[in-house]
Structure 1
C-alpha cells in the first residue's frame, strides 16, 4: 500500500514539474508574440513606397504578408499547443483569440497601406509638371544669384588703394572682411547650383538658353571670387607688414630715446688723466651697445620699406617715420663717435700740456735751487758770483716765454673742456698761474741778488781803487 502511494506521489511530482515548464514556455512565447506584433504595427505605420514599379510593390507585399502569416501562424500554433498541454480549460482562449485577431488586423492594414501607396504613385503627367516647376524654381534661383553677383561686383568695381595709415588700413580690413566671408559662405551654394544646372541642362529642351545662363553665372562667380580673394590677400599682407613694422618701431624708438638721454648724461666728472681714461672706456662700452643695435635698426628700416611697397597711398607717413628714426640714429652715432674722437684728442692735448708744464716746473725748481744755493754763500762780491747770478737770471727770463705759451694753451683747453664737461676745467690753468707766481718771485729775488751783488762789487772796486791810490802816495 505504501509503495503504491509513493509511486502516485512521484508521478504527481513529475506532472507538476512538467506543468511549470509548460507555463514558462507559454508565457515566453506570449511575450515574444506580443513584442513582434507591436513592432509590426510600428513598421506598418512608417511604411513608404519601396519601388516605382507597381509589380515590384505587389511582389513585396505578397512576400511580406506570407512572412507575416508564416511567423504569426507558427507562434500562434505554438501558443495553442502549449495551452492545450497546460490548460485544457477555456481560461486561456480569450487572450489567444485577441492575439490571433491582432495578427489578422495587422495583415489587413499592411495590405491596405500598400494599395494606397500604389494608387498615389505619380503619373507621367505629374512627373512632367514637377520637372517644369523645378525648372522654373531653378531659373528663379539663378536669376537671384546673378543679381547678387552683379551687386557684389559693383561694390568691388573701384580699384582698392591700400593706405599706409594704419588706422585707415584697419578700417579697410574691417570693411572688406564681411564681404570676403560672405563670398566664401556662398561658394558651396554656387557650386551646387552649377552642378544642378549642368544636370538639368541635359534634360532641358532649351539648352542654349540654359548654357548661356550657367556660363554667365560661372564667369561672374569666378570674377567675384578672384577679386574678393585678391583684395583679402593684399589687405592681409599689408596688415601683417604693418603689424611687424610698428611692433619693431614701438620697440626701437623708446630705446633710442633712452640711448640719447644716456649719451647726454655721460659727462666726465674730472679731466684728470685717470678720470678721462675711465670716461673714454664708458663711451667705448656705449659704442658697442650701439653696434649691437645696428642690426635691429636695419631690420626696422627693411620692415618699413616692405610695408610701404605693399601700400598704394599715404606712404609719406611711414617714410617720414623712417626718416625721423634714421636721423636720430645717425645723430646718436655721429655724436658718440665725435665725442670719443674729441675727448681722445683733448686727452692728448691735456697730456702734452701737462708734460710741457712739468718741464717748465722742473726748470723753475732748478733755478730756485741754484738761487737758494747762492744765498748760502758767505760773500756775494766776487765777479764769479755776479756772473752766476746774471746767468741764472737769464735762464729765469727765458722760462717766461714757454710759460706764457703754456698759459694760452691751457686757457684754450679749459674753454673746450667747459663745453664738453659743462663748466669743468682741466686745472692746468691754475697750475700755470701758480708756477707763474713762483717764476715772478724767483725773478724778483734774482733781481734783488743781482742788484746787491753789483752794489757790493762796485763798493769793493771803489775801495780797491782808493787803497791803491793811498799806497802810491
Structure 2
C-alpha cells in the first residue's frame, strides 16, 4: 500500500508540475527525482533479498515451501491484476492504473529468477528421484507453477495492452475535448467583441453574413460536440463510479461552454437579423419617400402657371388641395423616418451614422422645399383666385346689366308713338337711363383695365379666353351705348315730327353742350399704345355718333325753314335764334372733333414709335444679358483671352451706340409722359424704370467682364513670365547638378561640409520656388461666369 500511495503522490506531483511555471516545476521535481532514485534502489534490494532468501531455502531443502510460497504469490498477484478495473476516457486515472500495473509487472519480472530457480531445483529433484512418486508430484507441481506463471504474465501483458489502448483512446478523446474547448473559446471571444450593428442594409447584411459563417461553423460542429458529449457519457457509464472525476468535469465544462456559446450566438443572430430588418425597412421606406419627393418636386416644377380664368383656377385649386392632403399625409412618414433614423444613428457604425445623417438631412431639406413650394403655390393660387374672382364678378355683373339694358332698349325701340307728352316722358326716362349708363362708365373702364392687367399676368393659355371676354364686354358696351344714342335720336326726331320743334332743338343743344365740354382742346391724349388706342376707340364711337346726329341737325334745320315761312314775326325770331345757336354749337363741336382727331393721330403715332423703340431696346438688352451671362469660363491661353477681349470690345462699342438709342428712348418717353393721359402715366413711368434698371445691369455686367478679362490677361502674362523664369532657373539648376554629380567627392571633412551647406542652400531656394511651381502646375478649375442677378423678369415687365 505504501508503494501505491507513493505512485499516486508522484502522479500528483507531475500534475502540479504541469500547472506551474518552469522554476516552480524544477523545485517540485528535484525532491521527486531523489525519491524516484531511492525507490528504484529499494526495489532492487528487495528483489535481490528475496532471490537470496529463496535460493537459501532451496539450499536448505525447502523446495516445497518455496514452491508453495511462489504459488501463493502468483495467486495473490493474479488477483491484484484482475482487480485492476479499466477506466475509460480519463488519461490521468488510466495513467495511475497503468503505473500500478507496471509496479506489478516489475514485481512479476523480478520473480522470474525465482521461477527459474524453482524449475532448476525441481528438475534436479526429478532427475535425482527419477521414476519415483515424488518425482511425479514434483513434475506436476512444476507444471502447475509454470502454467499459472504463464497465465499471470499473459494476464499482466493483456491488462497492460488494454490500459495502454485505453490511455491512447483517452488521450485522443481528451485532446478532442480540449480542441473543442479552445475552439469554443475562440468563438466565444469573437462573439464577445461587441461592435455596433450596420445601419445600412449592405453593412447589416455583410455583418450577418460574416456572423453566419461562425454560426454555420457552430451548426456544422454541433454533431461533433454532441457526439463527444455522448461518447464521454458512455465512458462514464463504463467506468467505475467516482473513477473519472476529471472526465466528468471536462464534459460538464464542455457542455456549459457549448450551451453558453450557442445562447450567445442565437442572441447575436437575432440581434443582427433585427438590425438588418430595421435597416432594410428604414431604407426601403426612405427610398419610397424619396421617390415620392421626386414625384412631388416634378409635379411642383411642372405645374401650369396660375390661371386667371375662374373655372380653370378652381380646378387648379382642387388639384393643389389634393396634393396638399398628400403632403400632409406624408408628414407622418417624414417624422417616422426621422425617428427610425435617429434610432439607427445611436446603435449603428460610425460610417453608417454619417451616411444616415446625410440622407436624413438631404431628405429633410427636400421635404422642406416641397412644403415651401406647396405653400408658395397656395399663396399664388389664392391671389390668382382673388383676382380672377373679382374680375369675373365685375364682368358678370356688368354683362348682366348690359344684357338687361340692351333687352330693355330693344323693347322700347319698337314703341315710340306720336304723342308729344308721351315722347317727352320717354325722353326724360331715357335721360335717367343715360345717367345710369354714364354711372356704369367707371365700372366698365375699371373692368376693362382689370382684364388687361390679368392678361399680362395670366399664362398664354388664358389670353384667348380673357381677350374674348374683354371683346364681348366691349362689344356689349358699345352696342348698348349705340342703341342708347339711337334711342335718344329717334325720340328727339319723333318729338320733332310731332311738331315739338322747340323741345327737339333744346334737347339737341343740351347734347351738344355736354359733348363740347368733353372736347377740351388742351385735354391730354398721349400715353402708351393701349391707352391711346382706347382713347382712339372712344373718339371713333363719338365720331360715329356725330355722323348720326348730323342727320338730326339737318332735319331740325329743314323743319326750321318750313316753320319760318308760316310763323309770326315773334315766333320767327325765336326759331331763328334757336337755329343759329344750334348751328354755332354744331360747328364748334365739329372743329373740336377735328382737332381731337389730329391730336389723337399724333399721340397714336408717338405711342407706336415709343412702343417699337422700347421693345427693340428691351429685346437687345435681353440678348446682351444672355451673351454676358453665358459667356463661359475665362480661357486658359493668352490668344483665346485676346480674342475674347476683342469680341468684348466690339460688344462695348455696340453698347455705346445703343446708349444713344437708350437716351433717345427715355427722352421720348419723358416727353410723352409730360403730356400723357392719366391712364398712361403709370405704364410710361414703368417703362422708363425698366429701361434704366436693365441698362444699368447690363452695363455693370459688361464692365465686370471687361475688368475680369483684363485682369486675366495680365495674370496670364505674369504666369508666362514666371514660367520662363522658372524654366531658366530649372535648366541652370539641372546643368549645375549634372556637373556637380560628375565631380568626385573630396576626402576632407571641411570640403564635404562646405558642399553640404551649398546643397542645403540650393534646397532652400528650391523650396522657396515650390509655391510658384504649384501655382503653374495645378489643374485649372472652371471659372465662374458672371453672377446672375436676383431680379426676375416676368411678362409684366413691359407694363
Give the TM-score normalised by structure 1: 0.54
1:190 match:
115
Give 1:310 deviation, angstroms.
5.9
RMSD: 4.9
Q: Could you tell me whether the CA contact under 8 Å between 1:241 and 1:307 is conserved in 2?
A: no
Aligned-pair CA distance for 1:217: 3.6
Matching residue within 183, 193, 197 for 1:255:
183
Cα distance in structure 1, aligned partners of 2:299 and 2:80? 106
Q: 1:458 to 1:301 in 2, by over 3 A?
A: same
> For the structure 1 residues 236 and 154, does the alpha-carbon distance in structure 2 shift closer, same or farther, using more than 3 Å as the test?
same
Conservation of the 8 A alpha-carbon contact between 2:90 and 2:170: no
**Residue aligned with 1:271, SS:** coil
User: What is the match of residue 63 of structure 2?
Assistant: 138
The answer as to 2:135 corresponding to 1:210 is no
CA distance in 2, matches of 1:420, 1:301: 39
**Would the alpha carbon gap of residues 311 and 421 (structure 1) be closer, same or farther in structure 2, given more than 3 Å must change?**
farther
Of 366, 370, 374, which residue of structure 1 is paired with 2:295? 366
1:387 to 304, 310, 315: 315
Q: How far apart, CA to CA, are the structure 1 residues paired with 2:341 and 2:98? A: 62
The superposition leaves residues 260-292 of structure 1 with CA deviations (integer Å, 9 ceiling, x where unpaired) of 222443846743344345435534554676678
Deviation digits for residues 139-164 of structure 1, max 9, x if unmatched?
A: 34324423543554565575636486
Q: Give the superposition deviation at 1:180.
A: 1.3
Alignment of 1:20-419 (within 5 A): 136-149=61-74, 152=77, 158=83, 160=85, 162=87, 166-187=91-112, 189-190=114-115, 193-194=118-119, 196-197=121-122, 200-201=125-126, 203=130, 204-207=132-135, 210=138, 213-214=141-142, 217-218=145-146, 221=149, 224-225=152-153, 227-265=155-193, 267=195, 270-283=198-211, 286=214, 304=232, 308=236, 311-314=239-242, 315=244, 317-326=246-255, 328-329=257-258, 332=261, 343=272, 347=276, 350-351=279-280, 353-372=282-301, 377=305, 382-401=310-329, 404=332, 408=336
Q: Do 1:163 and 1:311's aligned partners in 2 also have CA atoms closer than 8 Å? A: yes
Structure 2 CA distance for partners of 1:183 and 1:446, relative to 1, 3 Å: same
Q: Is the 8 A contact 1:253 1:325 kept in 2?
A: yes
Q: Tell me which moved more, 382-391 or 442-451.
A: 442-451
SS in 1 for 2:296: helix
TM-score, normalised by the number of residues in structure 2: 0.35
How many angstroms apart in 2 are the aligned matches of 1:435 and 1:401? 16
- Tell me if the contact between 1:403 and 1:432 (Cα under 8 Å) persists in the aligned partners: no
What CA distance in whole angstroms lies between the structure 2 residues aligned with 1:185 and 1:390?
Answer: 117
Distance 1:322 1:420, change over 3 A: farther
Displacement of 1:405 in angstroms is 5.2
Cα distance, 1:183 vs structure 2: 0.8
CA contact (8 A) 1:268 1:279 kept: no
| C-alpha contact (below 8 Å) 1:156/1:227 kept by paired residues | yes
Distance 1:148 1:436, change over 3 A: same
2-side partners of 1:417 and 1:209: how far apart? 101
CA contact (8 A) 2:87 2:240 kept: yes
CA 1:418–1:279 in structure 2 vs 1: closer, same or farther (change >3 Å)?
A: same
**Superposition deviation, residue 392 in structure 1:** 2.9
Aligned pairs, number: 340
Distance 1:423 1:319 in 2: 48
Contact (CA 8 Å) 1:163, 1:169: kept in 2 or not? yes
**CA–CA separation in structure 1 for the residues paired with 2:346 and 2:112:** 76
**Conserved 8 A contact 1:393-1:443:** no
Per-residue CA distance 1:390-415 (angstroms, 9 max, x = gap): 31342342254466357547856876
In 2: Cα distance, 1:215 partner to 1:406 partner: 104
1:50-85 CA-partner distances (Å, limit 9, x unpaired) = xxxxxxxxxxxxxxxxxxxxxxxxxxxxxxxxxxxx
Cα distance, 1:467 vs. partner? 5.7
Give distance in 2, aligned partners of 1:236 and 1:418: 60
| 1:453 match: secondary structure | helix
Higher relative contact order (CA 8 A, sep 6+): 1
Per-residue deviation at 1:351?
4.0
Q: Residues of 2 paired with 1:346 and 1:321: CA distance?
A: 37
The secondary structure found in structure 1 opposite 2:241 is: coil
CA change 1:467–1:379 in 2 (3 A) is: closer
Structure 1 unmatched runs, 5+: 1-132
- CA 1:419–1:163 in structure 2 vs 1: closer, same or farther (change >3 Å)? farther
- Give 5+ residue unaligned stretches, structure 2: 1-57, 402-435, 437-799
Question: In the superposition, relative to structure 1, how do residues 366 and 323 fare at CA in structure 2: closer, same or farther (>3 Å)?
Answer: same
- The DSSP-based 3-state class of the residue aligned with 2:85 is coil
Shift of the 248–269 alpha-carbon distance from structure 1 to 2, 3 Å rule, reads same
State which drifts further: 253-262 or 292-301. Answer: 292-301
Paired position in structure 2 for 1:59 = none
Provide the C-alpha distance between the structure 2 equivalents of 1:420 and 1:237, rounded to a whole number of angstroms.
Answer: 55
* SS of structure 2 residue aligned to 1:312: coil
Residues 148 and 366 (structure 1), Cα distance of their counterparts in 2 relative to 1, 3 Å cut: closer
Give 1:181 shift.
1.7
Query: Per the alignment, in what secondary structure is the counterpart of residue 457 of structure 1?
Result: helix
